[in-house]
């Protein structure tokens, strides 16, 4: 049997807000406020003093506007962490938050830190996809890069993947339907309640508590 050592990584606690839809319950909430509330609850549940945290790493794709200038640091300070605690924001596109968790774990594995936080935040209702592509500041892809790789849209890429691996439209429709049904079943059984932090939000002048994922389509069909 393997024994634990100082470099073993242990996830002590995990918490999130419910997932909001575009223009939904979270559309009136600043990204910094979203993450800071989660960080506060995380420390409370873990029973760890914020001064013990040695690094906070957050994923965020569109690091501009409300999500600019190191959103991880801004959220951490907003949550009341000591200013001595460092924080950084990473962009690995759709895998940004997952990469942040990996980086946080890597610091422990390398014996650089003992306590780290890996997290992520994105409010696409307020900072839309592609907001960091500023026309007047140029195009991010150079001719040298474009000459080596044929960059396509996600839709075209999906078609190419389906063709290469023999994935049919019927297969993907069924997979999507099954995923929605599983999510709805888990929600109704209360499987997500422990991990979700209920937060008070104001939407169109109405105060409410947001605590249920909005993206689950439990009335959808395969068709």
pLDDT band at 3 (very low <50, low <70, confident <90, very high): low
* pLDDT tens-place string over residues 179-208: 999 999 999 999 999 999 999 998 888 899
Tell whether the model's pLDDT for residue 11 goes beyond 60.
Answer: yes
When divided into structural domains, the chain yields a total of: 1
Q: Is 90 left (phi over 0), alpha (psi -120 to 50) or beta?
A: beta
Whether residue 43 lies inside any domain: the answer is yes
Whether residue 61 lies inside any domain: the answer is yes
3-state secondary structure of 10: coil
Q: Is 91 left (phi over 0), alpha (psi -120 to 50) or beta?
A: beta
Q: Phi, psi (5° rounding) for residue 96?
A: -60, -50
Query: 36: domain CATH number?
Result: 3.40.47.10
Whether residue 142 lies inside any domain: the answer is no
Whether residue 205 lies inside any domain: the answer is yes
* Owning domain of residue 195: 31-131+190-210
3-state secondary structure of 206: strand
**First-to-final CA distance of the chain:** 50
Q: What is the CA radius of gyration of the chain?
A: 20
Q: How crowded is residue 38: how many other Cβ atoms within 10 Å of its Cβ?
A: 22
* pLDDT tens-place string over residues 30-54: 999 999 999 999 999 999 999 999 9
The answer to whether the Cα torsion of 22, 25, 29, 31 is positive or negative is negative
Whether residue 181 lies inside any domain: the answer is no
- Identify the pLDDT of residue 1: 46
* pLDDT tens-place string over residues 134-181: 989 999 999 999 999 988 899 999 999 999 999 999 999 999 999 999
Whether residue 105 lies inside any domain: the answer is yes
Whether residue 140 lies inside any domain: the answer is no
Average of per-residue pLDDT across 27-32 = 96
């Amino acid at each position: 049997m393997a024994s634990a050592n100082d470099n073993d990584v242990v996830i002590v606690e995990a918490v999130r807000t419910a997932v909001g839809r575009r223009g939904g319950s979270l559309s009136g909430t600043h990204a910094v406020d979203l993450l800071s509330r989660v960080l506060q609850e995380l420390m409370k549940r873990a029973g760890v003093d914020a001064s013990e945290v040695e690094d906070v790493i957050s994923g965020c794709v569109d690091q501009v506007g409300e999500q600019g200038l190191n959103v991880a640091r801004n959220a951490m300070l907003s949550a009341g962490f000591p200013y001595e605690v460092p924080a950084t924001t990473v962009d690995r596109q759709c895998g940004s938050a997952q990469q942040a968790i990996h980086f946080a774990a890597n610091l422990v594995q390398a014996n650089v830190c003992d306590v780290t936080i890996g997290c992520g935040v994105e409010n696409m209702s307020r900072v839309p996809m592609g907001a960091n592509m500023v026309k007047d500041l140029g195009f991010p892809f150079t001719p040298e890069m474009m000459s080596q790789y044929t960059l396509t849209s996600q839709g075209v890429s999906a078609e190419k993947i389906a063709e290469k691996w023999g994935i049919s439209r019927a297969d993907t429709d069924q997979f999507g339907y099954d995923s929605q049904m599983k999510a709805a079943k888990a929600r109704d059984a209360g499987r997500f309640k422990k991990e979700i932090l209920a937060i008070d939000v104001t939407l169109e002048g109405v105060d409410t508590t947001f605590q249920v994922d909005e993206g689950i389509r439990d009335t959808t069909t395969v068709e």
